[in-house]
Structure 1
């Protein structure tokens, strides 16, 4: 059963080693993420799953210890999914040969800032996976342990300004406003109703992970709170907690 969730953005720039001199620009987002993770820790889960987007329309799971790298973003820096103070040299070779997608690597970096005493796993969901399938995946994740917590990584539209990755699209602000409202209210029905084709056109990578969350939270009776909402670089970033 889902007992808590944290929603965080997943740009690699959230990692200071990647952002370099621009790191201070996302300090407020990092602080909000840390606060959200504190809520997860306080929920005393039996299992913590990091959910994030990846290309395509499939899904994939990642064992504790799976590594992620930011070399593709110009820095020789990496992280890995870990519980409390897991030494990197203890990661099994079979796990070390796989790699986290960027969204889950950012999630693993966020987790590394807090001590976790529970098993930690990763789950990617394709950006084009249908909402109905996302909800089913969420229900299955929530059923994996008596007390499940989710760290849900995902961005809003990438079309908020002329310099945004997807250029300016007048529909983007309305989409992000609706998504932020739903995330802040723990409104599973509103998340499930997000326009899938529009989300893809607006490059809103968070749509599928948010709909996984909606499926996981159905019937759980959780309350929501929006901790952060902004659109630096023309991309919608949100931080929310459900508990």
Structure 2
């Protein structure tokens, strides 16, 4: 199962979904597991899920898309329900898109602090920092995936136990900040 945010949400895309990265400059076709015709408007979180599904050799995947303005409490409740349904969860979200001169939007001095809040939360499994993400500030600074990030506190709360986070990547290579982390529940 994967969770992301997109203006087409809330919706669930199943294994019968397929799309292409052609709109991003590469005609790479991906599917969530079926043989459906290519949907040129398949949202980016679903495209990335399809690409990762194929690379991992998984048979199929589903993507739950939230609206970018989904309230934090609703995201948390979704996380609680997903914890009972899934053995693994892929959360697709972004950092700010206004950090430097390469960004698609004019630089904003608040971007660095917000990216640091997200980076630290992911590295330290700090669910309070994720829960405290300000929806208005995230929208202003281009963090479209805020609602997806706020699913994680619900997953952790419902699963219990001790969690370990590992930040694998955090950088702003093309004007948009990307963070990659894994969270693992400890035995």
TM norm structure 1: 0.68
* 2:19 matched residue in structure 1: 68
Q: Aligned equivalents of 2:56 and 2:182: distance in 1?
A: 16
Q: Which consecutive residues of structure 1, in runs of 5 or more, have no partner in the other structure?
A: 1-48, 83-87
Cα deviation per residue 1:1-22 (whole Å; 9 max; x = unaligned)? xxxxxxxxxxxxxxxxxxxxxx
Are 1:77 and 2:18 an aligned pair? no
Are 1:200 and 2:139 an aligned pair? yes
Cα deviation per residue 1:50-108 (whole Å; 9 max; x = unaligned)? 1112126x4211112311222323443210113xxxxx5xx3x5xx5866311220121
Report matched runs for 1:43-192 at 5 Å: 49-55=1-7, 58-82=9-33, 91=35, 96=37, 100-116=42-58, 120-145=61-86, 148-192=87-131
Q: Which has the bigger relative contact order, CA under 8 A and spacing at least 6?
A: 1
* 1:235 matched residue in structure 2: 176
Q: Which consecutive residues of structure 2, in runs of 5 or more, have no partner in the other structure?
A: none
* 1:18 matched residue in structure 2: none
Q: 1:153, 1:206 within 8 Å by CA — same for their partners in 2?
A: yes
Cα deviation per residue 1:204-237 (whole Å; 9 max; x = unaligned)? 1231111012222223532111111111122111
TM norm structure 2: 0.87
For 1:211, which of 150, 153, 176 is the aligned residue?
150
Give the length in aligned residue pairs: 181
Q: Aligned equivalents of 2:18 and 2:56: distance in 1?
A: 17
More helix by share: 1
Q: 1:104, 1:153 within 8 Å by CA — same for their partners in 2?
A: no
RMSD: 2.0
Q: 1:68, 1:102 within 8 Å by CA — same for their partners in 2?
A: no
Q: 2:97, 2:176 within 8 Å by CA — same for their partners in 1?
A: yes
Q: Aligned equivalents of 1:228 and 1:75: distance in 2?
A: 23
Deviating above 3 A after TM superposition, structure 1's stretches of 4 or more consecutive aligned residues are 96-100
